[in-house]
Structure 1
Amino acid sequence: MTYAVIMAGGSGTRFWPKSTKALPKQFLNLFGEKTMIQETVKRLKGHIEPENVLVVTNDNYVSIVEAQLPEVRKDHIIGEPVAKNTAPCVAAAAAIMNKLDPDSVMVVLPADHQITNREAFLDILNSAVETAKSENSLVTIGIEPNRPETGYGYICYDENSELKKDGNPVYSVKNFTEKPNREKAEEFLDSGNYLWNSGMFVWKTETVLKAFKKFLPDVFKLTEKLQASDLTQEDINQFYQACPSISIDYGIMEKAETVHVVPGEFGWNDVGSWTAVHELSEKDEYGNAIGNAKISIVDSTQNLIHTESGKLVSLVGVDNVAVVETDKAILVVNLKKAQGVKEVVEELKSNPELKDFL
């Protein structure tokens, strides 16, 4: 059977002040009535039902997940006692899946991505699942690039290795590249055989466990111990405390011999900053994304306004700015430099007088 593993442990620092330590990005409704994690589970219905969804999140967020996803079994909501990147998350999920169903297929998805074309996404996902089953391969979903983006990792694939799965092309992966500089990103775009790394993976549980055994044997031993346990919170805590902090990309994907990628184009965005929220939001004729705010705008274009108080926001002669207001803080940021919000959060963490604003 196919199961979904939703990775929902992120802190969403680039979305401060809307995203906070107590309620990070994946639990916010940035684009509609449902939160991002609710949308992630919703778009799988008909392909993977909620009872076959496993959510791995921070231990502090377990109650939030239970409240937002009542259709997901409580024993399928796993609380991480400490953040150890994505490899331990996948390993823990694989141990649980293998105990539950040794023949299982895992679809590993971030909780906070936006996908606008659900049907196209599910079509690509079906091809990825079929590839994982038939090729005993680690499979990733790659996004067709439309610009030389320096904020994403890239996947280089072998153009001469094309398979067809459910009508979609599937390729062998040659290598992965972390976030490149502008010049290199332009080269990748021009080459025609590079895709953005979406961070979405599909594999048979037994296949990924074999990869852990080969490339991360210490983690694999901990996985065996976890699988043999009663899967109590204490068992999970001991597993995470003993694991190194390492990403699944670096620990497994970049080293594995049999990796395939399914290219896709389905309105994907990893929603990595307020700039992405502006891009994905409805806008007026001047490119201003207003949301529920009360506004008065004069000679201002390409702005984003998110407020909670109901106060009037007036912009005069301002372009490419985000104004985000919560009950505790106000952020004004140039949308071209929105990644810098993460630096603000780091400053707040280091200042005892400002930690309460996180």
Structure 2
Amino acid sequence: MLTAIIMAGGSGERFWPLSTPEKPKQLLNIFSEKTMIRETVERILPIIPRENIFIATNELQATAVKEELKDIPEENIIIEPAFKDTAAAIGYSALIIEERFKSKLKRDEKIEIVVLASDHLIKRESEFRKIVKLGAKEATTNGVIITLGIKPNKPETGYGYIEVKEENKLILNNIYKVRRFREKPNLETAESYISSGKYLWNSGMFIFTTETIFKNFDVLMEEHAEIFQSIRKKLINNISGLELTNLVREDFKKFEKISIDFGIMEYSKNIRVIPVDIEWNDIGSFNALEEVFEKNSSGNVVRYCNIREIDSSDNIVIGDGITISLLGVKDLVIVKNGKNILVADKNRTQDIKKIIKKGEE
């Protein structure tokens, strides 16, 4: 039984001022007429029915998510009472899914979960769905956790990497044992990863059965496992929404704030990776727009505005229907949304969250 958890609790700070805590990146239609979370749902609908798709979000964004995804059952909108990172979020969501479907399983059937981000771009959608089904079969058959590793096309320093246990050349869509996960490298290290041919970008997409993920929690994250046991006792009578959120609020306060990467993926002995080429982009900053949209004759990316330009090139300009004039500027990100305007060096877009904190002082 294939299900999905779409992670939709992020604030999208690196896309400020377009993205706000109440309406973050996944709820914006930056790349098409549809929001990113809508595109994520539609990407998997051919293989996962709506009643099997769950959205993990928070109290601040829950109303907007429900409004955007009216076709997803409201009881499938999982509202976390506190941000405790992905280990708690994924485990909690898996508990709810297990409780929902365990009585409906056929003999020897397992609940398979694919964990997806709500704000990634995947152009080769048919290929992606094929890989998800392949990964789900492997996860069920061999009791392993599958992650999708993106075949790198450049020495990217903004992604984590997966090192593969394999002496021969990696073949797309094959399944390999993982040697270890690597943190975001410097440029020299990234170049060595690429030249070795044994490293893949960590996409943050995982596939596993509920049985396997909770076994890993029991072994590697005992404190989380104990809290899950407490929560499990409260998942009765199909309670959902804010009623459930309030019921587990005190339990959530006990979770250590830690990602599933640090808690499980880096230490588990049963991780497998599938190298894929699905034209994936995690849209981690405004700079990603240069990889998605065509540039004009001056090398500028222009969205939702008109520009007048003289001696200006390689800028990213986003407006809200206005005309923006550029004179002698290069390598800038210029964004206007309502009363907020951002002007940033393209090489500093990872620091946009510092501007937000400065405004809160």
TM over 0.5: yes
Q: What is the aligned partner in structure 2 of residue 188 from structure 1?
A: 193
Please give the residue correspondences for 1:246-325 in structure 2 after superposition, counting only pairs within 5 Å. 246-308=258-320, 310-325=321-336
Please give the residue correspondences for 1:124-203 in structure 2 after superposition, counting only pairs within 5 Å. 124-160=131-167, 168-203=173-208
The CA distance in 1 between the partners of 2:298 and 2:128, in whole Å, is 31
Q: Mean Cα displacement is larger for which, 262-271 or 120-129?
A: 120-129
Q: What is the aligned partner in structure 1 of residue 219 from structure 2?
A: 214
Q: What is the aligned partner in structure 2 of residue 111 from structure 1?
A: 118
The CA distance in 1 between the partners of 2:203 and 2:3, in whole Å, is 19
Compute the RMSD of aligned alpha carbons: 1.7
Q: What is the aligned partner in structure 2 of residue 334 from structure 1?
A: 345
The CA distance in 1 between the partners of 2:181 and 2:147, in whole Å, is 11
SS in 2 for 1:31: coil
SS in 2 for 1:290: strand
The residue type equivalent to 2:278 in the other structure is F
The alpha carbon displacement at 1:163 in A equals 11
The CA distance in 2 between the partners of 1:219 and 1:273, in whole Å, is 32
Q: What is the aligned partner in structure 2 of residue 78 from structure 1?
A: 78
Q: What is the aligned partner in structure 2 of residue 356 from structure 1?
A: none
The residue type equivalent to 2:186 in the other structure is N
Q: Mean Cα displacement is larger for which, 280-289 or 45-54?
A: 280-289
Q: Deviations over 1:234-285 (max 9, x none)?
A: 2332332121101101101111111100111111111111101232123223
Matched, 1:50 2:55: no
The CA distance in 2 between the partners of 1:28 and 1:344, in whole Å, is 21
Q: Mean Cα displacement is larger for which, 7-16 or 291-300?
A: 291-300
Q: What is the aligned partner in structure 2 of residue 344 from structure 1?
A: 355
Q: How many residues align?
A: 347
The CA distance in 1 between the partners of 2:344 and 2:50, in whole Å, is 38
Q: Deviations over 1:128-166 (max 9, x none)?
A: 1121111110111000111111111110011159999xx
Q: Mean Cα displacement is larger for which, 274-283 or 33-42?
A: 274-283
SS in 1 for 2:304: coil
The residue type equivalent to 1:194 in the other structure is Y
Q: What is the aligned partner in structure 1 of residue 106 from structure 2?
A: none
The alpha carbon displacement at 1:53 in A equals 0.6
Q: What is the aligned partner in structure 2 of residue 66 from structure 1?
A: 66
The CA distance in 2 between the partners of 1:238 and 1:55, in whole Å, is 21
Whether the aligned pair in 1 keeps the contact of 2:120 and 2:281 (CA below 8 Å) is yes
Q: What is the aligned partner in structure 2 of residue 122 from structure 1?
A: 129
SS in 2 for 1:169: coil
SS in 2 for 1:168: coil
The CA distance in 2 between the partners of 1:222 and 1:342, in whole Å, is 32
User: TM-score, normalized by length of structure 2?
Assistant: 0.92
Q: Deviations over 1:80-119 (max 9, x none)?
A: 1211110000110111121122421010011111111111
Q: Deviations over 1:182-201 (max 9, x none)?
A: 22111111110100100000
The alpha carbon displacement at 1:295 in A equals 1.4
SS in 1 for 2:249: helix
Q: What is the aligned partner in structure 2 of residue 26 from structure 1?
A: 26
The CA distance in 1 between the partners of 2:157 and 2:322, in whole Å, is 37
Q: Unpaired segments of 5 or more residues in structure 1?
A: 352-358
Q: Mean Cα displacement is larger for which, 279-288 or 91-100?
A: 279-288
Q: Mean Cα displacement is larger for which, 93-102 or 54-63?
A: 93-102
Q: Deviations over 1:179-224 (max 9, x none)?
A: 1122211111111010010000000111001100111111112112
The CA distance in 2 between the partners of 1:16 and 1:144, in whole Å, is 29
SS in 1 for 2:175: strand
The CA distance in 2 between the partners of 1:113 and 1:163, in whole Å, is 24
SS in 2 for 1:282: coil
Structure 1 segments, 4+ long, off by >6 Å, are 161-164
User: TM-score, normalized by length of structure 1?
Assistant: 0.93
SS in 1 for 2:57: strand
The residue type equivalent to 1:64 in the other structure is A
